[in-house]
Structure 1
Amino acid sequence: MMNLQKKYENLKALLLQLKSAAIAFSGGVDSTFLLKVAHDVLGDNVIAVTARSSTYPEREFHGAKAYAEGIGVKHVIIISEELEIEGFSQNPVNRCYYCKRELFSKIRDVADQHGLKHVLDGSNFDDLGDYRPGMEAAKELHVISPLKEAGFTKNDIRALSKQMNIPTWNKPSFACLSSRFPYGHEITEEKLKMVEAAEQILLDMGFRQVRVRHHGEIARIEVGPEEREKFFDLPLMDFVGQSFKKLGFAYVTLDLAGYRTGSMNEGLSL
């Protein structure tokens, strides 16, 4: 298996060949690492593009903005409101396709405006193991995934990010808030705000890896498997239950399996 340093050298060589790029930058572990390496290699021939929408929490936006400013990369903010895309709010199984096609189309426009040759995203090798319809949109629009091409796994990215003192090296995994809804359940701005507020409550309490899945009247909480034991505390359970009910949930539950990637895909037959 290729060692980490070799993957890193391959990534830099790949980026150098591209000459210039606009990077879809969410501020997550993958896109932050990609942006840092690309900026090191290509300098001002790289820009970061972040899309604001109701599916993207304010805390994530401010983190992305601060990092881009900190390394001195040009940062372009666009509006990409997924709820306005026809078919998106009905939450079909291929929902991410609609979202990514809209996003990458807008980033392509930004790249063209700045005279940049390519659009890049932070998909990694591990993403090949889950159902990700957004990758089809990326393929259609010729978006390049350098981390995936260089063979980087999530663990590789975290390890090298730590070595390079990139602050997101141990940041919990994040996905857009639309992923909190079962397929076929309508997504609305009100429901998205409920989920964002509920997750913020848990984060403010010290939980690191959180998802609040919206099942109509029911909130299904997923936390990191090692964090589940924190709920063996009656005052904590009472506080969470009462707080969530103030947001509009009638019932509050804890998923006994804890957080895992793609839990909403578990019932799919693809």
Structure 2
Amino acid sequence: MIDQKLNQVKTLFSQMEQALIAYSGGIDSTLVAKIAYDVLGDRALAITAVSPSLLPEELEEAKIQAATIGIKHELIETHEMDNPNYTSNPVNRCYFCKSELHDTLKPLAIKRGYAYIVDGVNADDLQDYRPGIQAAKERGARSPLAEVGLTKTEIRQLSQQLGLPWWDKPAQPCLSSRFPYGEEITISKLQRVGRAEIYLRKLGYNNLRVRSESDTARIELPPDQIQEFVLNTDLPNLVAQFQSYGFIYVTLDLEGYRSGKLNQVLGRELAIRS
């Protein structure tokens, strides 16, 4: 089944003849870049958008992964932080982010002669609240993984099968996803969240989030790592580090990390309204 889906993605790329990949360095878009390069060679181009919402470490990993694959890789700057529709952090914030991305990519693709822009949206993404997908579709982007029904689990399996060493890389959405809807996003807030997550990664915790609400940092870890974290971490030093980044309060989410957790408030609001 998974090999059949891989062949379907390859067929899509062979039909495109050339493609520009919106490449974040995450496991999804990296798999797209890998397959595109295998099929199209130098007729595939990976573009990474650089902005304050992308961790510098993530950018460096994206460069390394692209070089490992062999695909041509370029960087562009996006300016979503200049758009108050984005920085005010409404529930459809991602719509304005992806609008900025694809409004930047499309002229580049036309200039370079790329008829198709593709992204790493997968079948599971279609089941979540993802307004950015709408923005990409409105601008003509294709999503090969979603088109053939590849799920996140299958993407990891396929990445491992293809020998990609980052097949088990944790999901890493943009830093703006760390803030509750309605709280203004600023560069300084993004930077302090980024520094806090880097600090925790250096302690050996990779699958995590630092949620930010006003002056409070809320650490989310997988439930089975919470006890180890409390017992083995120098908590006073951690608090001091977080406070040096600009937080006042540091908390630990006892429920643990769960992707898309901030979206649960949307379900509650809908239930109240109904």
CA-CA distance at 1:235 after TM superposition: 4.7
Q: What is the CA-CA distance between 1:224 and the residue it aligns to?
A: 2.1
**Alpha-carbon contact 1:231-1:237 (below 8 Å) kept:** no
Aligned equivalents of 2:173, 2:5: Cα separation in 1: 25
Listed as ranges, the matches of 1:8-87 within 5 Å are 8-87=6-85
Aligned partner of 1:175 in structure 2 is: 173
Q: Deviations over 1:83-125 (max 9, x none)?
A: 1123111111110000001101111122112111100000000
Alignment of 1:188-203 (within 5 A): 188-203=186-201
* CA-atom RMSD in angstroms: 1.2
Task: String of CA shifts for 1:40-71, please: whole Å, max 9, x gaps.
Answer: 01111110000110000000101111222233
SS in 2 for 1:88: helix
The answer (yes or no) to whether the contact 1:53–1:80 under 8 Å persists in 2 is yes
Deviates more, 1:52-61 or 1:70-79: 70-79
Match of 1:210 in 2: 208
Q: Confirm or deny: 8 A CA contact 1:208 1:224 kept in the other structure.
A: no
Written as runs of structure 1 = structure 2, the 5 A alignment for 1:98-117 is 98-117=96-115
User: 1:221 & 1:37 partners in 2: Cα distance?
Assistant: 35
The 1-side partners of 2:185 and 2:263 are apart by 17
Q: Name the CA distance, whole Å, in 2 between partners of 1:227 and 1:35.
A: 33
Structure 2 partner of 1:139 = 137
Gaps of 5+ in 2: none
Aligned-partner residue type, residue 181 of structure 2: Y
In the TM superposition, residue 229 of structure 1 has moved relative to its aligned partner by: 2.0
Identity %: 46
Report Cα offsets for 1:222-264 as digits up to 9, x if no partner.
1122322222326532222221111111111111111111111
The CA deviation string for residues 144-193 of structure 1, in whole angstroms up to 9 with x for no partner, is 00000011000101001111111220000110000001111000000000
* Cα pair 1:32 1:168 within 8 Å, conserved: no
Q: Tell me the amino acid that sits aligned with residue 4 of structure 1.
A: I
SS at match of 1:169: coil
TM-score by length of 1: 0.96
Counterpart Cα distance in 2 of 1:111 and 1:173 = 27
Corresponding residue pairs, total: 268
Q: How far apart, CA to CA, are the structure 1 residues paired with 2:19 and 2:178?
A: 31
Shift >4 Å, 4+ stretches: none
Deviation readout 1:61-82 (Å, 9 max, x if unpaired): 0111122223322112100022
* TM-score normalised by length of structure 2: 0.95
Amino acid at match of 1:161: S
CA distance in 2, matches of 1:227, 1:109: 46
Structure 1 CA distance for aligned equivalents of residues 156 and 50 of structure 2 = 25
CA distance in 1, matches of 2:208, 2:237: 16
Q: Deviations over 1:17-47 (max 9, x none)?
A: 1111100001111001110001001111110
For 1:113, give the aligned amino acid. K
The equivalent residue for 2:253 is 255
